[in-house]
């Protein structure tokens, strides 16, 4: 059975924080990633299965979806399609274990960034910040 974590982080003062939904089949890496994002000022929610993620997408409106490429019978690209059907302006990052030109091309077609998972979770912060600030994720992919 999958698990989901909701509500890590919250609003402060009058400023709305960006909401990020992180979907990772890696249970051990999800909690530290959510803590890192909350510590950086984001409202972070998480899920470990495609099904849990679709339930969260039905009840929240994330600014950014970060999804593992591999999620059981589905993948992160399926989740981007599902999420964008309900939240057309949602930005997306698909995380892969290795560089895969086919996945990168499909992610680009969906206006999502494809990102090889770093060993150090803190390396997520710059791509996340840039993705949230970018109006067009395709422009981000060509930025050094």
Name the percent of the chain in helix, strand, coil, to the closest 5.
Answer: 40, 25, 35
- The mean pLDDT value of the chain amounts to 82
At residue 37, φ and ψ (nearest 5 deg) are -65, -45
> How far apart (Å, rounded) are the C-alpha atoms in residues 76 and 131?
16
Contact yes or no for 75/29 (Cβ under 8 A): no
Cα 52 vs. chain centroid, distance in angstroms? 14
Residue 73: DSSP 8-state? T
Higher pLDDT, 56 or 116: 56
pTM for this entry: 0.81
Rounded average pLDDT over 111-116: 90
Whats the size of the chain, residue-wise?
A: 144
Rounded average pLDDT over 13-30: 80
Rounded average pLDDT over 107-116: 92
Most confident of 3-7, 60-64, 116-120: 60-64
Cα 105 vs. chain centroid, distance in angstroms? 18
């Amino acid at each position: 059975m999958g698990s989901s974590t909701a509500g890590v982080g919250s609003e402060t003062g009058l400023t709305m924080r960006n909401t990020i939904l992180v979907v990772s089949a890696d249970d051990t890496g999800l909690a530290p990633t959510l803590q890192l994002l909350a510590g950086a000022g984001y409202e972070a929610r998480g899920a470990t299965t495609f099904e849990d993620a679709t339930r969260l997408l039905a009840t929240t409106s994330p600014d950014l979806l970060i999804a593992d490429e591999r999620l059981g019978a589905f993948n992160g690209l399926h989740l981007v399609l599902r999420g964008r059907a309900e939240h057309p302006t949602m930005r997306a990052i698909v995380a892969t274990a290795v560089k895969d030109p086919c996945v990168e091309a499909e992610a680009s077609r969906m206006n999502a960034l494809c990102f090889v998972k770093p060993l150090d979770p803190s390396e997520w912060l710059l791509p996340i910040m840039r993705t949230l600030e970018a109006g067009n994720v395709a422009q981000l992919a060509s930025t050094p």
